[in-house]
């Protein structure tokens, strides 16, 4: 016989059925979880891949140095004049005249005008004893001159010192390598080779093989090592020219290199 349910009774029946389905699904999932076999190693696939990537990312960092030597071909002269007079005007006039004479002598001896540059100008009073009253004024003017022919540099310095006379001052000279491109390239190649030799030794000691280079960083190279003249008197004597001995100069390149380990 037919059974007629009221709307309220139908809603209650649907709710009971839905609850039964949820309970059944939960029980089935729990049973499958208990039935699943555990991993023999206790590590999931994702976890086991992580150590593999870490092992392959091993790195070694070493430094390498490359040294080369070259013969300087350029001399930078630092010189000037110093004049004392009873007034600023006369002292400055005398210093200007002496500097013009020095500059002219350098240019006539073969130094290019572009290689002569004014460096400093000082004007200051001079005193005697504990007096607070100035007895005169000192004016000093200095310049730098780049001499690109070492064979003629001694004679050029001599000519400049004679032109300045007793007002001449020489602060010093420095010998430079004007073109270091080829020397630095050789030094860099030696530095990288030195770093690779060290890295290979460390990798072998660790029982691994050296992988490819990851990065290389070069440290700042030092500048030329200067030598200084003893005093102006040595340049203003009666010798034909100031003796110049270029010697040799060392360039050094240091790099930090990172290699992969395999």
Give yes or no for residue 226 having a pLDDT over 90.
no
Q: pLDDT tens-digit profile of 113-166?
A: 999 999 999 999 999 888 888 899 999 999 999 999 999 999 999 999 999 999
Q: How many angstroms separate the CA atoms of 190 and 197, rounded?
A: 11
Asked if residue 154 is part of any domain, the answer here is yes
Q: pLDDT tens-digit profile of 174-194?
A: 999 988 899 999 999 999 999
User: Which domain CATH number covers 165?
Assistant: 3.30.70.2970
pLDDT at 254: 96
Asked if residue 194 is part of any domain, the answer here is no
Asked if residue 49 is part of any domain, the answer here is no
Q: How many angstroms separate the CA atoms of 128 and 135, rounded?
A: 7
Judge contact between 172 and 232, C-beta under 8 A.
no
Asked if residue 120 is part of any domain, the answer here is yes
Domain of residue 128: give its range: 74-176
Asked if residue 145 is part of any domain, the answer here is yes
Global pTM? 0.61
Residue 50, Cβ neighbours under 10 Å: how many?
11
Asked if residue 159 is part of any domain, the answer here is yes
Q: What is the mean pLDDT of the chain?
A: 79
Asked if residue 6 is part of any domain, the answer here is no
pLDDT band for position 223 (cuts 50, 70, 90): low
Q: How many domains does the chain have?
A: 1
Residue 202 tokens, joined? 């460390």
pLDDT at 262: 82
Asked if residue 224 is part of any domain, the answer here is no
Give yes or no for residue 224 having a pLDDT over 60.
no
């Amino acid at each position: 016989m037919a059974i007629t349910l009221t709307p309220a009774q139908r809603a209650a029946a649907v709710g009971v059925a839905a609850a039964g389905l949820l309970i059944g699904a939960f029980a089935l999932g729990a049973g499958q979880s208990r039935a699943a076999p555990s991993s023999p190693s206790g590590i999931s696939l994702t976890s086991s891949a992580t150590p593999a990537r870490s092992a392959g990312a091993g790195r070694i960092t070493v430094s390498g140095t490359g040294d080369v030597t070259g013969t300087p071909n350029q001399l930078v002269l630092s010189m000037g004049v110093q004049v004392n007079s009873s007034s600023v005007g006369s002292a400055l006039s005398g210093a200007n005249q002496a500097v013009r004479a020095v500059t002219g002598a350098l240019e006539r001896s073969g130094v290019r005008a572009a290689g002569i540059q004014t460096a400093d100008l000082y004007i200051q009073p001079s005193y005697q004893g504990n007096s607070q009253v100035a007895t005169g004024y000192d004016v000093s003017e200095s310049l730098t001159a780049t001499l690109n022919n070492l064979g003629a540099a001694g004679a050029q310095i001599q000519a400049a010192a004679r032109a300045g006379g007793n007002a001449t001052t020489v602060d010093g000279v420095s010998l430079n390598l004007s073109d270091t491109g080829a020397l630095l390239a050789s030094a860099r190649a030696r530095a990288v080779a030195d770093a690779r030799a060290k890295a290979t030794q460390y990798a072998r000691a660790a029982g691994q093989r050296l992988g490819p280079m990851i990065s290389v960083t070069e440290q700042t190279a030092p500048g030329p090592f200067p030598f200084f003249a003893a005093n102006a008197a040595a340049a203003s004597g009666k010798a034909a020219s100031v003796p110049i001995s270029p010697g040799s100069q060392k360039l050094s390149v240091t790099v930090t290199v990172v290699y992969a380990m395999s």
